[in-house]
Structure 1
Amino acid sequence: MERSEIWISFSPELHVFVAAAQRAGRSAVGTDGVSTLGHVVESLGVPLTEVGTLLVEGRQVRASHIPRHGEEVSVREVTRPQRLPGPARFLLDVHLGKLARRLRLLGVDAAYENLDIGDPALAARSAAEQRVMLSRDRGLLRRREIWAGAYIYSHHPADQLRDVLARFAPPLAPWTRCTACNGTLRDAAKASVHEQLEHGTERSYDAFAQCADCGQVYWRGAHHADLNAIVEEALREFGQRSASRP
């Protein structure tokens, strides 16, 4: 197997993934002459979900390109907003529960696994349901069977939410989705949810919504102001109107 060497550079947005040697500009990287450029990029720490364009000698190539000795390679970040081959539907791993609830609060279709079912099962569900896999696990995002994926850069839910909304620009419809199970909310008469309400809640509130899937009941309770602040901030930044739900 003949060894060769290429020159590679990464956009600053991708420096979080690579070693210091690849952050200062172009650097020499050895290849085996048979591995794809996509494999080389991932071996340096960058999931292909975060790569927008691969340039070789200034021309765009696919991840399947076999780099030749001496080639100049430029790895660019994903262009935002990122186009998807289907609706903006997401799947979040076990570590992103707060982000899942915030996306659902905004009416974004966000499936969430609250158990650690393993990378193969998550990747299979992403493919079967055509959902964008959201994770901070680079190994998971490197699995070939995922339909699409995105690395979540921050540990903070507010920043995570802003990142997903900026990257994928999903349609927002606040107060229309169950934050517990991702089902659809519908208006509910007080009499129809009477048995699920405590006496103080029933006495104090008149407007209710109920999940069509799990039956969870919602009203504008003590935490509404905090939730509304999340909604209003998202609407201000991403310019979409809210729905009139409790």
Structure 2
Amino acid sequence: MDRPEISLEFAPDLHVFVPAARRAGSSTVRTDGSSSLGHVVESLGVPLTEVGTLLVDGRPTGPGHVPADREQISVLGVARPQRLPGPARFLLDVHLGTLARRLRLLGVDAAYENLDIGDPALAARSAAEQRVMLSRDRGLLRRREIWAGAYVYSHRPDEQLKDVLSRFAPPLAPWTRCTACNGGLRAADKESLHDRLHDGTQRSFDVYAQCEDCGQVYWRGAHHAHLEAIVAEALRDQLRPVGPAVERPR
């Protein structure tokens, strides 16, 4: 029996994943007659984490649908902000350390693996802790065991942060998390930190915070103005309405 031939069209925001030949309107695809639509879409390069709605002849369907001959398939991107089945908690792979620190600066729960522990271990942690897996590794995002995932579209930390905040709109609580370990911060007095501060720091600063988990001490040092600018921009962006489509960095 002939293999089914379907017509497949990807939304523009998914074109970054597909070959150039499939970016202009519909293109035909022959399937094996038994693979799910989700499998077909991923085989063409698009992680299902980036798919919002699948339409078959104009009707919504799930990734488990087995395409039939001559069906017209539309693959749409994720609507923003994306709703999650639980709190906005994230897990970032070894390549996203700067993004992890900036999310923590904003008070977002962002676990980070600073060692390459492998895709199976990352996916297992995402599932066990119910964290959104953030990565630029499409293979990792295709693993079925991850709780939820999202592709990070840019190499640049500024654009990465904007993208993640736009997509998930997590509640922001700046200056409440340790950027080193993700633990919570508490106010600390200078006297209690005497043995941990250089004399010059003690003379120059009076306001301190300390991580409740790792003990890291924070004060408003030379880099504070840069960090304040990151926080201020994120808070401004949070107040702006999200339109029907968000331009993603290429």
**Which bracket does the TM-score occupy, shorter chain normalised?**
over 0.9
Post-superposition Cα deviations, 1:5-35, rounded to whole Å, max 9, x if no partner, equal 1000000000000011210100000100000
TM-score of the pair, normalised by structure 1: 0.96
Report the AA paired with residue 159 of structure 1. Answer: E
Post-superposition Cα deviations, 1:205-235, rounded to whole Å, max 9, x if no partner, equal 1100000000000000110001001000111
Post-superposition Cα deviations, 1:132-152, rounded to whole Å, max 9, x if no partner, equal 000000000000000000000
TM-score of the pair, normalised by structure 2: 0.95
Q: Which runs of 4+ in 1 moved over 2 A?
A: none
Hey, what's the Cα distance between the residues in 1 that align with 2:231 and 2:2? 56
Post-superposition Cα deviations, 1:161-180, rounded to whole Å, max 9, x if no partner, equal 00000000000000000000
Q: Residue 125 of structure 1 corresponds to which residue in structure 2?
A: 125
Hey, what's the Cα distance between the residues in 2 that align with 1:42 and 1:234? 33
Report the AA paired with residue 110 of structure 2. Answer: A
- Structure 1 stretches of 5 or more lacking a match? 241-246
Give the match's secondary structure for 2:100.
Answer: helix
Q: Residue 4 of structure 1 corresponds to which residue in structure 2?
A: 4
Post-superposition Cα deviations, 1:41-75, rounded to whole Å, max 9, x if no partner, equal 00000000000000000000000000001000000
Give the match's secondary structure for 2:159.
Answer: helix
- Structure 2 stretches of 5 or more lacking a match? 241-250
* Residue 239 of structure 1, CA deviation: 2.7
Post-superposition Cα deviations, 1:68-111, rounded to whole Å, max 9, x if no partner, equal 01000000000000000000000000000000000000000000
Report the AA paired with residue 146 of structure 1. Answer: I
Hey, what's the Cα distance between the residues in 2 that align with 1:34 and 1:66? 6
| CA RMSD of superposed structures (Å) | 0.9
Hey, what's the Cα distance between the residues in 2 that align with 1:110 and 1:239? 22
Report the AA paired with residue 29 of structure 2. Answer: V
Q: Residue 202 of structure 2 corresponds to which residue in structure 1?
A: 202
Give the match's secondary structure for 1:218.
Answer: strand
Hey, what's the Cα distance between the residues in 1 that align with 2:2 and 2:207? 71
* Count of matched residue positions in the alignment of Structure 1 and Structure 2: 240
Report the AA paired with residue 119 of structure 2. Answer: D
Q: Residue 87 of structure 1 corresponds to which residue in structure 2?
A: 87
Q: Residue 166 of structure 1 corresponds to which residue in structure 2?
A: 166
Give the match's secondary structure for 1:233.
Answer: helix
Hey, what's the Cα distance between the residues in 1 that align with 2:116 and 2:223? 29
Q: Residue 107 of structure 1 corresponds to which residue in structure 2?
A: 107
Hey, what's the Cα distance between the residues in 2 that align with 1:52 and 1:198? 52
* Residue 3 of structure 1, CA deviation: 1.3
Q: Residue 18 of structure 2 corresponds to which residue in structure 1?
A: 18
Whether 1:181 aligns to 2:181 is yes
Give the match's secondary structure for 2:229.
Answer: helix
Give the match's secondary structure for 1:192.
Answer: helix
* Residue 2 of structure 1, CA deviation: 4.8
Hey, what's the Cα distance between the residues in 2 that align with 1:99 and 1:123? 19
Hey, what's the Cα distance between the residues in 2 that align with 1:239 and 1:202? 37
Give the match's secondary structure for 2:17.
Answer: coil
